[in-house]
Every structure is written in C-alpha cells, then in structure tokens.
Amino acid sequence: MKIYKVHLDLSMVISRLKEFRLKEYNSAFPIIFVEAKSPDDACFKSVYILIQGILRQDSSIQTRLLCRSIKEDIRVIKVSCR
C-alpha cells in the first residue's frame, strides 16, 4: 500500500461543522495523508475518516443526515502519491 496526499475542498461544508472537533480537517482546504491501494481508494478513505470522526462525536439522526448531505459537497482537488 502506498501513502497518498489528498487535497480536499471543504469550503462549502466547513461552516456546518463548527461544533465538531475536526483535527486535521479543520480548514477549508485540508491536506490529508492516507495509506491506500489506489488513488480512488485514497479519496474514499479521506472522506470516510472525516465522516467517521464526526459520527464518533455525535451519532444522532440530525448528525447522520448532516453527514449524508456534506458528502455531496466535499470535493477532492488533487491526489498525489508520496
């Protein structure tokens, strides 16, 4: 497995995530390092880690609906292999 550098665009969703501790996702354009088999897998894992982090903090119905809606607004800008 390789380590990928994933550039995300969270500018459309960052305002809706103020109440959560986002760690490395705490900016509008975070850069995430992910170990994955392929670039597609790296993109999936980077978004999956964010969603899982939010749901660990609060697993209410409102938060689940929020996670479902923000998945559509998160953009992957660039993926590169380190």
- pLDDT (tens digit per residue) in 9-55: 999 999 999 999 999 999 999 999 999 999 999 999 999 999 999 99
In this prediction, residue 12 carries a pLDDT of 94
- pLDDT (tens digit per residue) in 68-80: 999 999 999 999 9
Asked whether residue 82 carries a pLDDT value surpassing 80, the answer given is no
In this prediction, residue 56 carries a pLDDT of 95
In this prediction, residue 32 carries a pLDDT of 96
Cα 62 from Cα 23, distance rounded (Å): 21
Domain map of the chain by residue range?
Answer: 2-81
